[in-house]
Amino acid sequence: MTGDIDVLVSEVGPRDGLQNTKQFMPTESKRKWISAAAAAGLREIEVCSFVPLKLIPQMADAAEVVAHARTIPGLCVAALAPNFKGAQRAMEAGVYKLTLTISVSKSHSLANVRMTPDEAIAGAKKICEFRDRLPPARRPKIESGLSTVFGCTIEGAVSEDEVVRMAIASVEAGCDEVGLADTTGYANPEQVRRVFRKARAAIGDKLAGAHFHNTRGLGLANVVAALEVGVTTFDSSLGGLGGCPFAPGASGNIVTEDLVFMLESMGLRTGVDLGKLLEIRRILEEGIPGEPLYGYVPLAGVTKGFVPAAGKA
Ligand code: COA
Ligand code: ZN
């Protein structure tokens, strides 16, 4: 992270959000959204996933969306892939960061990617080896995005020892970093502190960001808990769009607008201009009309006299 921000907000709406919407957002709207998000100061955007068209038709234009995002100076263009073929397509498209979705829960893993967690780790190793054979300028950073870390809609509780084992296995497979995702909105703040501490004890600074869903309203509480144990990268989605189509009942991500408001109010610099961010909802309302959008700050507005963190002496 560069020295002018304290927390990196990674926008995942164009991937996590759109993978779950009924309508296809036109490519032009996706382009506008990504450009506007970058102009508002978001420095990392997960712009799409590389998945079979039949399974998630919303991602049909993935390569085109990456090509557009790559024209935006300074933007870390990220994408998600579930398997080797997806990773290969993402690297061909030229992503700078590739997140591999790897479930800790066996049932979710089988439902989501038709592989056991150990098979997914073996797949990650193959993907990292493929990456390492590319010319240096074309090698993306690879993150193991561990999902269902805090609970699974199919299995219920997920073993923390298993989370730690999978984090270590991800690093051994060659992943540059490991993120922990509450795919299902099961996490609570105490659990977040405990699991991030355990994972950090096991893999040190390879432990990267947190990905929370707000399914039970605890998303921002979980962010504060993660901040307390040193996490400084958070995924979120504009308007709180999102949810895994293969985790029944899982709903949207934490809302980028609310997250930025909270962090900036706490004196933590995100580099994001909240006013510009709030304007982007219009692009979503046009691109996927009628799709429910969430968030409190967009409804209530910012507080009177709100001063972003950078403006505080
Ligand atoms: N992109 C495009 N096409 C792909 C692909 C990818 N990432 N992965 C597989 N395919 C194609 C194969 O080439 C094959 O095509 P063919 O029938 O023309 O030969 C077909 O899809 C089936 O391939 P197979 O390897 O058998 O895949 P599968 O049907 O077992 O599906 C996954 C496995 C991982 C691709 C699928 O379960 C998936 O995409 N899951 C992702 C779910 C997701 O994104 N969840 C949200 C994130 S939490
Ligand atoms: Zn998610």
Residues with CB under 5 A from ligand 2 (ion): 16
> Is the CB of residue 252 below 6 angstroms from any atom belonging to ligand 1?
no
pLDDT at 313: 57
Helix (H) or strand (E) holding 224: helix 219-228
What pLDDT does residue 153 have?
Answer: 93
Which of 12, 20, 51, 126 gets mutated to test ligand 1 (max ligand atoms within 8 A of its CB)?
51
Residue 52 in contact with ligand 1 by CB distance below 6 A: yes
Most ligand 1 atoms within 8 A of CB, residue of 12, 59, 83, 98 to mutate: 83
User: Whole-angstrom Cα distance, residue 32 to residue 71?
Assistant: 13
**Are 16 and 235 spatial neighbours (Cβ–Cβ below 8 Å)?**
yes
Judged by its nearest atom, the ligand closest to the C-alpha of residue 49 is 1
| Confidence (pLDDT) at 69 | 98
Report which protein residue has its CA nearest ligand 1's atom 10: 52
| Active-site annotation, residues | 244
Taken in order of first residue, the domains within the chain and their CATH numbers are: 8-311 (3.20.20.70)
Going from the first residue of the chain to its last (313 residues), give the mean pLDDT of each consecutive group of 10, the final group possibly shorter. Answer: 91 95 95 98 98 95 98 98 98 98 98 97 98 97 98 96 98 98 96 98 98 96 98 97 74 94 98 97 96 93 94 70
**Is the separation of the CB atoms in 123 and 131 below 8 Å?**
no
Report the distance separating Cα 57 and Cα 67, nearest Å: 18
